[in-house]
Amino acid sequence: MIFKIARSPKGGQVTHYDEYEVSVTKGMTILDVLFIIQDDVDPSLSFRYSCRGAVCGSCAMLIDREPRLACRTQALMIKQSSLNLKAFPAIENKQTGQAQNPMVLIEPLPNMRVLKDLLVDMTPFHQSFESMKLWVDPTEGNTPRTQTPEELSRYERYVNCISCGICHGSCPVSSYHHEYIGPAPLAKAWRFYEDSRVTNRERYLEAAKQSNGAPMCELVMNCVKSCPKDVAPGGAIRRIKDTG
């Protein structure tokens, strides 16, 4: 298979694309392909990874114009699958002809500054969590704070977020409005708002409802379709909009 990979040796904008031919066997992921290229062909190729098991979220990138985790994307199956995202300038739907192209296109995650090749700067993404103070302040005492299975079920899916940034990279609003907080922090704000053990729940709702938060979301739902952990940030944002 031929893999066409975006290159930006000095960071910033993608300057060119390099093509690599790799012999792919069943079970190989896109991350496996990148390892082969880096080890055997081009050691200058830069990309981020860690767990290799879809837990850390480090290897998020644009694969055939769809944001995915490289470690869980099967190289031989990429042409047969589609997330059916709503297109915006940074991405294109496969229906435009990408699916018929035998070459696999690999690019950095959209809506983030490119550091080098497939590496993007995640700092603004992480800072959005900090700016909303998405944590629970400790309380005094040793009394356990219990909850029922029903109470847990209200927010459990939002706990599965691995902060990969795929929802941010798939979001048209994040592409047009760089001040937008983004889907992941808003989903986490709703997670704390729905947690029965939290005493000052309203502060999370207030943080999510600031002008560059939930009100800016257009409910395109690309974040729901692309999330590798089925967190469904769009559903949380819809609830934030309807609450209060």
Domains of the chain as residue ranges with CATH:
2-120 (3.10.20.30), 123-242 (1.10.1060.10)
**Inter-residue contact 6 to 107 (CB < 8 Å):** yes
Tokens at 243, concatenated = 């609450």
**Inter-residue contact 181 to 215 (CB < 8 Å):** no
CA 237 to chain centre: 16
Reading phi first (left if > 0) and then psi (alpha if -120 to 50, else beta), residue 220 is in alpha
Which pLDDT band holds residue 96 (cuts at 50, 70, 90)?
Answer: very low
The predicted-structure confidence for 198-211, as pLDDT tens digits, reads as follows 989 999 999 999 99
Between 19-33, 82-96, 186-200, the lowest mean confidence (pLDDT) is in 82-96
For residues 112 and 101, give the distance between their C-alpha atoms in angstroms, rounded to a whole number: 26
Cβ burial, residue 66 (10 Å; 0-12/13-18/19+):
buried
Instruction: Give the mean pLDDT of the chain.
Output: 93
Is the confidence at residue 111, as pLDDT, over 60? Answer: yes
Which pLDDT band holds residue 94 (cuts at 50, 70, 90)?
Answer: low
The pLDDT value recorded for residue 95 is 45
Residue range 223-232: average pLDDT? 96
Is the confidence at residue 86, as pLDDT, over 70? Answer: yes
Residue range 190-196: average pLDDT? 97
For residues 43 and 76, give the distance between their C-alpha atoms in angstroms, rounded to a whole number: 24
**Inter-residue contact 66 to 94 (CB < 8 Å):** yes
The pLDDT value recorded for residue 244 is 74
Which long-range contacts link 34-41 to residues 24+ away (Cβ below 8 Å)?
34/70, 34/106, 34/118, 37/3, 37/5
The predicted-structure confidence for 135-186, as pLDDT tens digits, reads as follows 998 888 888 889 999 999 999 999 999 999 999 999 999 999 999 999 999 9
Is the confidence at residue 97, as pLDDT, over 50? Answer: no
The pLDDT value recorded for residue 10 is 87
pTM given for the model: 0.91
Is the confidence at residue 110, as pLDDT, over 90? Answer: yes
Percentage of the chain modeled with pLDDT above 70: 96
